[in-house]
Amino acid sequence: MINQSVLDYIKQIVPEKDVRENELMSAHTTFKVGGEAALFIHISSKEQLIRLIPFFRRLEIDYFVIGNGSNILIGDKGYQGVILSIGEGLSEIRIKDNQIIAEAGAMLSQVSKRAAGAGLAGLEFASGIPGTIGGAVVMNAGAYGGEMALVVESVLVMNAAGEEMILSNDTMEFAYRTSVVKNRPYIVLAVTLCLEYGDIGQINQKITELTKRRREKQPLEYASAGSTFKRPPGKFAGMLIMDAGLRGFSIGGASVAEKHCGFVINQGNATAADIIEVINEVQERVYDRFDIKLEPEVIYLGDF
Protein backbone atom coordinates (compact mmCIF):
# COMPACT_ATOMS: atom_id res chain seq x y z
CA MET A 1 0.00 0.00 0.00
CA ILE A 2 1.33 3.43 -0.96
CA ASN A 3 0.59 5.54 2.09
CA GLN A 4 2.12 8.73 3.44
CA SER A 5 4.91 6.96 5.30
CA VAL A 6 5.89 5.17 2.08
CA LEU A 7 5.88 8.48 0.19
CA ASP A 8 7.95 10.14 2.89
CA TYR A 9 10.57 7.40 2.67
CA ILE A 10 10.70 7.59 -1.14
CA LYS A 11 11.18 11.36 -1.02
CA GLN A 12 14.22 10.89 1.21
CA ILE A 13 15.79 9.00 -1.71
CA VAL A 14 14.35 10.67 -4.82
CA PRO A 15 13.87 14.46 -5.28
CA GLU A 16 10.24 15.42 -4.72
CA LYS A 17 9.96 16.79 -8.27
CA ASP A 18 10.66 13.29 -9.60
CA VAL A 19 7.86 11.63 -7.60
CA ARG A 20 4.34 11.97 -9.00
CA GLU A 21 1.11 10.56 -7.68
CA ASN A 22 -1.69 9.49 -10.05
CA GLU A 23 0.42 10.05 -13.17
CA LEU A 24 -1.36 9.54 -16.50
CA MET A 25 0.61 6.87 -18.33
CA SER A 26 -0.57 7.84 -21.80
CA ALA A 27 2.18 10.48 -21.61
CA HIS A 28 4.83 7.81 -21.06
CA THR A 29 4.10 5.13 -23.67
CA THR A 30 4.51 5.17 -27.43
CA PHE A 31 0.94 3.83 -27.80
CA LYS A 32 -0.21 7.11 -26.16
CA VAL A 33 -2.83 5.31 -24.07
CA GLY A 34 -3.04 4.21 -20.45
CA GLY A 35 -4.65 5.28 -17.21
CA GLU A 36 -3.02 6.57 -14.05
CA ALA A 37 -0.17 4.96 -12.16
CA ALA A 38 -0.60 5.23 -8.41
CA LEU A 39 2.99 6.44 -8.25
CA PHE A 40 5.46 7.41 -10.97
CA ILE A 41 9.14 7.90 -10.15
CA HIS A 42 11.86 9.27 -12.41
CA ILE A 43 15.05 7.37 -11.58
CA SER A 44 18.30 9.27 -11.98
CA SER A 45 20.83 6.98 -10.28
CA LYS A 46 21.38 3.31 -9.63
CA GLU A 47 21.73 4.14 -5.94
CA GLN A 48 18.05 5.11 -5.91
CA LEU A 49 17.12 1.70 -7.29
CA ILE A 50 19.40 -0.09 -4.83
CA ARG A 51 17.49 1.50 -1.95
CA LEU A 52 13.99 1.42 -3.41
CA ILE A 53 13.66 -2.11 -4.80
CA PRO A 54 14.33 -4.02 -1.55
CA PHE A 55 12.00 -1.56 0.22
CA PHE A 56 9.16 -2.21 -2.22
CA ARG A 57 9.68 -5.96 -2.02
CA ARG A 58 9.73 -5.94 1.76
CA LEU A 59 6.40 -4.10 1.84
CA GLU A 60 5.02 -6.16 -1.08
CA ILE A 61 4.42 -3.05 -3.18
CA ASP A 62 4.02 -3.83 -6.88
CA TYR A 63 6.45 -2.03 -9.17
CA PHE A 64 7.36 -2.08 -12.84
CA VAL A 65 10.39 -0.60 -14.61
CA ILE A 66 9.98 1.19 -17.94
CA GLY A 67 12.32 2.95 -20.33
CA ASN A 68 10.75 4.81 -23.25
CA GLY A 69 7.47 2.90 -22.90
CA SER A 70 7.84 1.59 -26.44
CA ASN A 71 6.80 -2.02 -25.95
CA ILE A 72 4.06 -1.77 -23.35
CA LEU A 73 0.29 -1.39 -23.22
CA ILE A 74 -1.07 -0.01 -19.94
CA GLY A 75 -4.75 -0.46 -19.19
CA ASP A 76 -7.27 2.38 -19.18
CA LYS A 77 -7.89 1.81 -15.46
CA GLY A 78 -4.22 2.34 -14.74
CA TYR A 79 -1.67 0.59 -12.57
CA GLN A 80 -2.06 0.43 -8.81
CA GLY A 81 1.65 0.07 -8.11
CA VAL A 82 4.82 2.09 -8.72
CA ILE A 83 6.23 2.84 -12.16
CA LEU A 84 9.99 3.37 -12.13
CA SER A 85 11.09 5.29 -15.21
CA ILE A 86 14.72 4.93 -16.26
CA GLY A 87 15.60 7.60 -18.80
CA GLU A 88 17.79 10.67 -19.14
CA GLY A 89 19.13 10.49 -15.60
CA LEU A 90 20.81 7.18 -16.43
CA SER A 91 21.80 7.66 -20.06
CA GLU A 92 25.58 8.13 -20.18
CA ILE A 93 27.31 6.63 -23.22
CA ARG A 94 31.05 5.94 -23.21
CA ILE A 95 33.25 4.55 -25.97
CA LYS A 96 36.48 2.67 -25.28
CA ASP A 97 38.21 1.19 -28.31
CA ASN A 98 35.56 -1.03 -29.98
CA GLN A 99 33.38 -1.17 -26.88
CA ILE A 100 30.41 1.00 -26.00
CA ILE A 101 29.28 1.20 -22.39
CA ALA A 102 25.79 2.67 -22.17
CA GLU A 103 23.62 3.22 -19.13
CA ALA A 104 20.17 1.65 -19.31
CA GLY A 105 18.27 4.86 -20.00
CA ALA A 106 20.24 5.77 -23.14
CA MET A 107 18.07 5.74 -26.24
CA LEU A 108 19.04 2.91 -28.57
CA SER A 109 18.97 5.26 -31.55
CA GLN A 110 21.46 7.56 -29.81
CA VAL A 111 23.79 4.65 -28.99
CA SER A 112 23.62 3.61 -32.65
CA LYS A 113 24.45 7.16 -33.73
CA ARG A 114 27.43 7.34 -31.38
CA ALA A 115 28.67 4.01 -32.66
CA ALA A 116 28.45 5.20 -36.25
CA GLY A 117 30.32 8.39 -35.41
CA ALA A 118 33.13 6.33 -33.90
CA GLY A 119 33.34 4.06 -36.94
CA LEU A 120 31.92 1.06 -35.09
CA ALA A 121 29.70 -1.28 -37.09
CA GLY A 122 27.06 -3.78 -36.01
CA LEU A 123 24.42 -1.57 -34.43
CA GLU A 124 22.96 -0.06 -37.59
CA PHE A 125 19.84 -2.22 -37.26
CA ALA A 126 18.97 -0.41 -34.02
CA SER A 127 19.03 3.12 -35.41
CA GLY A 128 15.24 3.33 -35.75
CA ILE A 129 14.11 1.31 -32.74
CA PRO A 130 12.36 3.79 -30.38
CA GLY A 131 13.40 2.32 -27.04
CA THR A 132 16.14 2.53 -24.46
CA ILE A 133 19.08 0.18 -24.53
CA GLY A 134 17.95 -1.29 -21.23
CA GLY A 135 14.59 -2.26 -22.69
CA ALA A 136 16.25 -3.48 -25.86
CA VAL A 137 18.40 -5.91 -23.88
CA VAL A 138 15.43 -7.20 -21.88
CA MET A 139 13.49 -7.96 -25.07
CA ASN A 140 16.51 -8.84 -27.23
CA ALA A 141 15.27 -6.24 -29.68
CA GLY A 142 16.10 -6.72 -33.31
CA ALA A 143 15.38 -5.67 -36.87
CA TYR A 144 16.65 -6.26 -40.39
CA GLY A 145 18.70 -9.30 -39.47
CA GLY A 146 20.34 -7.80 -36.40
CA GLU A 147 19.56 -8.23 -32.70
CA MET A 148 21.02 -7.28 -29.35
CA ALA A 149 22.28 -10.81 -28.70
CA LEU A 150 24.81 -10.32 -31.52
CA VAL A 151 26.43 -7.20 -30.05
CA VAL A 152 26.07 -7.45 -26.25
CA GLU A 153 29.24 -8.41 -24.40
CA SER A 154 27.88 -8.08 -20.86
CA VAL A 155 25.03 -6.53 -18.88
CA LEU A 156 25.20 -4.92 -15.45
CA VAL A 157 21.99 -5.74 -13.59
CA MET A 158 20.57 -5.35 -10.12
CA ASN A 159 18.79 -8.25 -8.47
CA ALA A 160 15.80 -8.15 -6.14
CA ALA A 161 18.04 -7.77 -3.10
CA GLY A 162 19.59 -4.59 -4.52
CA GLU A 163 22.86 -6.31 -5.41
CA GLU A 164 24.74 -5.61 -8.64
CA MET A 165 25.65 -8.50 -10.93
CA ILE A 166 27.46 -8.70 -14.27
CA LEU A 167 25.89 -11.13 -16.74
CA SER A 168 27.94 -12.24 -19.73
CA ASN A 169 26.35 -12.75 -23.13
CA ASP A 170 26.29 -16.50 -22.47
CA THR A 171 24.38 -16.11 -19.21
CA MET A 172 21.86 -13.67 -20.65
CA GLU A 173 19.88 -16.56 -22.16
CA PHE A 174 19.06 -14.50 -25.24
CA ALA A 175 16.35 -15.92 -27.47
CA TYR A 176 13.78 -14.46 -29.84
CA ARG A 177 12.41 -11.35 -28.08
CA THR A 178 13.42 -12.52 -24.63
CA SER A 179 16.31 -12.82 -22.19
CA VAL A 180 17.02 -13.92 -18.64
CA VAL A 181 16.27 -10.36 -17.50
CA LYS A 182 12.72 -10.58 -18.81
CA ASN A 183 12.11 -13.79 -16.90
CA ARG A 184 13.74 -12.93 -13.56
CA PRO A 185 13.51 -9.95 -11.16
CA TYR A 186 16.57 -8.21 -12.59
CA ILE A 187 16.85 -4.57 -13.59
CA VAL A 188 19.31 -3.49 -16.30
CA LEU A 189 21.67 -0.75 -15.14
CA ALA A 190 24.19 -0.64 -17.99
CA VAL A 191 25.19 -2.53 -21.12
CA THR A 192 28.58 -3.18 -22.68
CA LEU A 193 28.56 -3.72 -26.43
CA CYS A 194 31.39 -5.15 -28.50
CA LEU A 195 31.36 -3.89 -32.08
CA GLU A 196 33.58 -4.14 -35.14
CA TYR A 197 35.59 -1.34 -36.67
CA GLY A 198 34.18 -0.22 -39.98
CA ASP A 199 34.05 2.60 -42.52
CA ILE A 200 32.05 5.56 -41.19
CA GLY A 201 30.66 6.37 -44.62
CA GLN A 202 29.44 2.83 -45.20
CA ILE A 203 27.94 2.60 -41.70
CA ASN A 204 26.02 5.84 -42.17
CA GLN A 205 24.89 4.76 -45.64
CA LYS A 206 23.44 1.57 -44.16
CA ILE A 207 21.64 3.56 -41.46
CA THR A 208 20.22 5.87 -44.15
CA GLU A 209 19.02 2.89 -46.19
CA LEU A 210 17.35 1.24 -43.18
CA THR A 211 15.73 4.55 -42.19
CA LYS A 212 14.28 4.87 -45.68
CA ARG A 213 12.93 1.30 -45.55
CA ARG A 214 11.26 1.98 -42.19
CA ARG A 215 9.58 5.13 -43.47
CA GLU A 216 8.34 3.35 -46.58
CA LYS A 217 7.17 0.15 -44.88
CA GLN A 218 6.08 1.12 -41.36
CA PRO A 219 3.25 3.39 -40.12
CA LEU A 220 5.59 5.74 -38.26
CA GLU A 221 3.07 8.58 -38.45
CA TYR A 222 0.85 6.80 -35.91
CA ALA A 223 1.35 5.96 -32.25
CA SER A 224 2.13 2.29 -31.79
CA ALA A 225 4.38 -0.12 -29.95
CA GLY A 226 6.18 -1.17 -33.12
CA SER A 227 5.63 -4.71 -34.35
CA THR A 228 2.70 -5.94 -32.29
CA PHE A 229 3.19 -9.68 -32.73
CA LYS A 230 6.14 -12.02 -32.55
CA ARG A 231 7.12 -13.72 -35.78
CA PRO A 232 5.74 -17.28 -35.94
CA PRO A 233 8.31 -19.92 -36.98
CA GLY A 234 8.72 -19.82 -40.75
CA LYS A 235 6.03 -17.16 -41.19
CA PHE A 236 5.53 -13.40 -41.05
CA ALA A 237 2.83 -12.08 -38.74
CA GLY A 238 1.99 -9.16 -41.02
CA MET A 239 1.47 -11.42 -44.02
CA LEU A 240 -0.78 -13.78 -42.05
CA ILE A 241 -2.87 -10.86 -40.82
CA MET A 242 -3.17 -9.42 -44.32
CA ASP A 243 -4.13 -12.82 -45.79
CA ALA A 244 -6.79 -13.14 -43.10
CA GLY A 245 -8.43 -10.03 -44.59
CA LEU A 246 -7.61 -7.76 -41.66
CA ARG A 247 -5.74 -4.90 -43.34
CA GLY A 248 -7.28 -1.71 -41.93
CA PHE A 249 -9.53 -3.61 -39.51
CA SER A 250 -10.50 -1.25 -36.69
CA ILE A 251 -12.32 -1.05 -33.39
CA GLY A 252 -12.83 2.39 -31.90
CA GLY A 253 -9.63 4.37 -32.44
CA ALA A 254 -7.37 1.34 -32.91
CA SER A 255 -6.70 -0.45 -36.16
CA VAL A 256 -4.46 -2.80 -38.09
CA ALA A 257 -2.16 -0.51 -40.06
CA GLU A 258 -2.80 -0.25 -43.79
CA LYS A 259 0.91 0.17 -44.51
CA HIS A 260 2.07 -2.83 -42.46
CA CYS A 261 -0.41 -5.32 -41.04
CA GLY A 262 2.01 -6.38 -38.32
CA PHE A 263 1.33 -3.07 -36.55
CA VAL A 264 -1.72 -2.26 -34.45
CA ILE A 265 -1.89 1.53 -34.30
CA ASN A 266 -3.59 4.29 -32.35
CA GLN A 267 -5.31 6.45 -34.93
CA GLY A 268 -5.44 9.30 -32.44
CA ASN A 269 -8.33 8.55 -30.12
CA ALA A 270 -7.84 4.89 -29.19
CA THR A 271 -8.21 3.47 -25.72
CA ALA A 272 -6.20 0.57 -24.38
CA ALA A 273 -9.42 -1.45 -24.54
CA ASP A 274 -9.72 -0.70 -28.28
CA ILE A 275 -6.16 -1.90 -28.86
CA ILE A 276 -6.70 -5.08 -26.85
CA GLU A 277 -9.88 -5.85 -28.80
CA VAL A 278 -8.09 -5.44 -32.14
CA ILE A 279 -5.23 -7.66 -30.96
CA ASN A 280 -7.66 -10.32 -29.73
CA GLU A 281 -9.66 -10.26 -32.96
CA VAL A 282 -6.49 -10.57 -35.03
CA GLN A 283 -5.38 -13.56 -32.97
CA GLU A 284 -8.75 -15.27 -33.31
CA ARG A 285 -9.11 -14.76 -37.06
CA VAL A 286 -5.53 -15.78 -37.88
CA TYR A 287 -5.94 -18.89 -35.73
CA ASP A 288 -9.27 -19.76 -37.37
CA ARG A 289 -7.80 -19.30 -40.85
CA PHE A 290 -4.30 -20.74 -40.47
CA ASP A 291 -4.28 -22.63 -37.15
CA ILE A 292 -1.46 -20.35 -35.98
CA LYS A 293 -1.61 -18.56 -32.62
CA LEU A 294 0.02 -15.14 -32.87
CA GLU A 295 1.78 -14.11 -29.68
CA PRO A 296 1.96 -10.39 -28.86
CA GLU A 297 5.36 -8.78 -28.41
CA VAL A 298 3.65 -6.07 -26.38
CA ILE A 299 3.66 -6.37 -22.58
CA TYR A 300 0.29 -5.80 -20.90
CA LEU A 301 0.32 -3.98 -17.58
CA GLY A 302 -2.36 -2.75 -15.19
CA ASP A 303 -6.12 -2.94 -15.22
CA PHE A 304 -8.04 -2.97 -18.48
Active site residues: 177, 227, 297
| Contact predicate 20/40, CB 8 Å | yes
Euclidean distance between CA atoms 222 and 149, whole angstroms: 29
**H or E stretch at 192:** strand 187-194
The answer to whether 114 touches 95, Cβ cutoff 8 Å, is: yes
CA distance 106 to 92: 7
Between CA 53 and CA 62 the distance in angstroms is 10
Q: What is the DSSP string of 68-111?
A: S-TTEEE-TT-EEEEEEEESGGG--EEEETTEEEEETTSBHHHH
Cβ atoms 153, 160 nearer than 8 A = no
CA angle 188-298-91, nearest 5°? 30
Rounded to 10 deg, the angle between the 108-117 and 200-217 helix axes is 150
